[in-house]
């Protein structure tokens, strides 16, 4: 693949095993810049990010759902939250906007030699409750997703999911 950006998109996979190597602050900064470069409806940017690098902070998250055990080995977790109020937030589009930010983080992580996995929170009420309690979030801030990140301790082949039958030209 000649184009580096396309290669990055087409080879990204969920990485759930990490080495002990911490993620450098410069890379964390780049992940957050990538997140906030995402498109958002009316450019409202209704996102907030909680960055966790302390072992005890990340371990606290490791039980918010049955599918997030990899957090116990992750040196970095980013909680993406959405602002739902109509002042600084986006009551209609925050879920979609935050999803774009999450995907940008995953792609940036892959480009930086890191690996990550998207851990869904919203709209599962019981998962939201756990995170809202841990972080004592304000009423207008909803936890959208957690991203578990680290240097990969597993390699995965690219997944070719292209399906011609899912493509409709000019009409359905």
Ligand X SMILES: Cc1cc2nc3c(=O)[nH]c(=O)nc-3n(C[C@H](O)[C@H](O)[C@H](O)COP(=O)(O)O)c2cc1C
Residues found near ligand X in the complex (CB under 6 A): 13-14, 16, 65, 67-68, 117-120, 159
Q: Which residue has the tokens 């301790």?
A: 153
| Residue with smaller CB distance to ligand X, 23 or 119 | 119
| Smallest distance, ligand X to C-beta of residue 122, A | 9
| Residue with smaller CB distance to ligand X, 51 or 62 | 62
Identify the CA nearest to 77 among candidates 56, 97, 95. Answer: 56
Can you name the residues that pair with 152 across neighbouring β-strands? 18
The CB density around residue 47, as the number of other CB atoms within 10 Å, is 23
Identify the CA nearest to 118 among candidates 156, 55, 110. Answer: 110
| Residue with smaller CB distance to ligand X, 10 or 44 | 10
Region of 45 please: left (phi>0), alpha (psi -120 to 50) or beta: left
| Residue with smaller CB distance to ligand X, 50 or 102 | 102
Q: Which residue is nearest to ligand X (CB)?
A: 120
The Cα–Cα gap between 17 and 35 comes to: 22
The Cα–Cα gap between 20 and 47 comes to: 29
| Residue with smaller CB distance to ligand X, 7 or 13 | 13
The Cα–Cα gap between 33 and 27 comes to: 10
| Smallest distance, ligand X to C-beta of residue 80, A | 11
| Smallest distance, ligand X to C-beta of residue 66, A | 8
| Smallest distance, ligand X to C-beta of residue 53, A | 20
The Cα–Cα gap between 49 and 79 comes to: 6
| Smallest distance, ligand X to C-beta of residue 171, A | 29
């Amino acid at each position: 693949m000649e184009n580096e950006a396309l290669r990055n998109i087409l080879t990204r996979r969920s990485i759930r095993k990490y080495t002990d190597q911490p993620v450098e602050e410069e890379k964390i900064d780049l992940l957050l810049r990538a997140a906030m470069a995402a498109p958002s409806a009316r450019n409202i940017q209704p996102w907030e990010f909680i960055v966790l690098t302390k072992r005890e902070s990340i371990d606290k998250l490791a039980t918010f759902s049955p599918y997030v055990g990899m957090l116990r080995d992750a040196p970095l977790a980013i909680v993406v939250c959405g602002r739902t109020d109509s002042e600084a937030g986006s009551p209609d589009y925050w879920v979609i906007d935050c999803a774009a930010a999450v995907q940008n983080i995953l792609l940036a992580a892959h480009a930086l030699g890191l690996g990550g996995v998207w851990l869904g929170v919203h709209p599962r009420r019981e998962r939201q409750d756990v995170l809202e309690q841990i972080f004592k979030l304000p009423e207008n801030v909803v936890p959208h997703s957690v991203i578990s990140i680290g240097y990969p301790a597993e390699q995965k082949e690219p997944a070719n999911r292209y399906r011609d039958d899912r493509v409709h030209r000019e009409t359905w």
